[in-house]
Structure 1
Amino acid sequence: MAKICRGGQKTFTKIGIQKSRGFERKQAILRVSKISAEKIQKSC
Structure 2
Amino acid sequence: MQDPNKSPSQADRKAANRRLGLILFSIVMVFFLGFFAKMIFLG
- So what's the TM-score if we normalise by structure 1? 0.45
Bigger RCO of structures 1 and 2 (CA < 8 A, at least 6 apart): 1
Q: TM-score, normalised by structure 2?
A: 0.46
